[in-house]
Amino acid sequence: MDGFLLPSMGSCSACRYYIGADLKKQDVIGHGKKKILLVFSDPKEWAASKYDVDDVFNKHHSINISEDCWVYYALRCWKEKSTPKSKHLDLCEPFLKKKIKELKPNLIIVFGERAFKSYTKDHGTVPWRGQYHWDRNICPDLANNCWVCFVQSPSRVLQDKIKTTELLWDQTLQDALAQASEPLPEYKPISECVVLYDTERAAIKFLKSVLKRRPKLTAFDYETSGLQPYVKGHFIRTCAISCSVNHSAAFELTPAIIPYLVKYLKDGQIKKIAQNMVYELIWSRVILRSDVKGLVFDPMLGTHVLDNRKSIGALGMTAFRLLGVDDLKGRANVERYLKSTGEFNTISKAPITPLLTYNALDSLYEHRAAKKQMDAINHVK
């Protein structure tokens, strides 16, 4: 049947890498009694790595790979005298996705860059960037209803001959196996969490209730006309405030609403979270002429406290790493209005409902991520 599949669905006839392959169209191996799926670059890498991986699994968790796990590949064929190209991985990737759906694992361990690229291709709108940014991370994958762990390939770890790298690799595999039995993050459905206020009256009523209730912890976020507010003409178009991990409200900012928002910002008893908080601070001071009191946590900084690698603080990355969210709902349709070609972007032309939804989800995920980071940091203490 492979020859009759469309290329976008996975097609051996379009790939043709199997022709003359030493190992050809290898299928999944193992019985998977503990529902653990190991994904390697290709069958040859698995053959070269199985004893090292088996040693770690047996040593710490008494897991027998052939009985307790499944093994599969980003590329099902291997040739000693030919290096696969990107198109070969792209054409084989649908087979991996199909296998994941069939097996329904509790834990997926992805070994190395090629397997990482195959696993993350067409997997939501997360800014994946590269395996380096995810190495040693154990993430909830809600789309596949399982945990996923990203690690370097065993051959790379052993080739480097750096003891610290080997120890970290070993520890990550131990942690992943332990995590497999833990429940995935669970929150109310987004439809029950997000509220969009389309009138001044409704937004003011909401802000008054926040000022009266003074929630213990909130997260707030702006969508603005550019990156910096110093040039005349800049404005904050929308604001979102999340009062719990299962609530976020967004509204368009108008002159009538601003005094109530300023009261919220100046109330130090209402503790506040903000992603890249210096951004919200600057826009509040310049556009709203208000300081912000009660700031307690920045999820972007929290990311770097827990992991000091560069370029990993984007909310899209944090949302998947901690919450399993691989699609922040229509971001591409809104983000094109937020990108600045000069001093100003085109946010004024953005449809209001998608923009409010985008804003509300940002504050909601910031709140959820911050809570998890704060718990982790306090646990370390």
What number of CA atoms fall less than 13 Å from residue 327's CA on the CB side? 11
Amino acid occupying residue 104: K
Contacts of 128 (CB under 8 A, 6+ apart): 116, 120, 134
- Res 112: pLDDT: 94
pLDDT (mean) for 51-67: 83
Amino acid occupying residue 233: G
For residue 156, is pLDDT > 70?
yes
Look over the chain and give the mean of its residue pLDDT values, rounded to a whole number: 92
86 or 253, greater pLDDT:
253
- Res 4: pLDDT: 34
Strand partners, 251: 197, 239
288 or 56, greater pLDDT:
288
Exposed e or buried b per residue across 342-352, where buried means at least 16 C-beta atoms within 10 angstroms of its C-beta: eebbebeebee
For residue 256, is pLDDT > 60?
yes
CATH 3.30.420.10 domain extents, the chain? 190-380
Among 1-15, 116-130, 251-265, where is mean pLDDT lowest? 1-15
- Res 83: pLDDT: 87
Exposed e or buried b per residue across 260-295, where buried means at least 16 C-beta atoms within 10 angstroms of its C-beta: bbbebbebeebbbbbbbbebbbebbeebbebebebb
CATH 3.40.470.10 domain extents, the chain? 2-179
Contact call for residues 221 and 363 (beta carbons, < 8 A)? yes
Rounded CA-CA distance 277/272 in Å is 10
pLDDT (mean) for 261-276: 97
Kindly report, residue by residue over 195-209, the tens digit of the pLDDT.
999 999 999 999 999
Q: Report pTM.
A: 0.91
Rounded CA-CA distance 124/328 in Å is 9
Nearest Cα to Cα of residue 132 among 121, 117, 144: 117
- Res 9: pLDDT: 57
Nearest Cα to Cα of residue 30 among 112, 132, 99, 117: 99
Domain topology for 190-380:
Nucleotidyltransferase; domain 5 (3.30.420)
6 pLDDT band, cuts 50/70/90, is very low
For residue 17, is pLDDT > 90?
no
Name the one residue in this structure whose structure tokens are 């790979």: 65
The count of residues in the chain is 381
305 or 378, greater pLDDT:
305
- Res 10: pLDDT: 64
Kindly report, residue by residue over 287-313, the tens digit of the pLDDT.
999 999 999 999 999 999 999 888 899
CATH code assigned to 2-179: 3.40.470.10
Rounded CA-CA distance 154/280 in Å is 43
Concatenate the DSSP letters of all residues of 302-330 into one string.
HHHHH---SS---HHHHIIIII-----SS
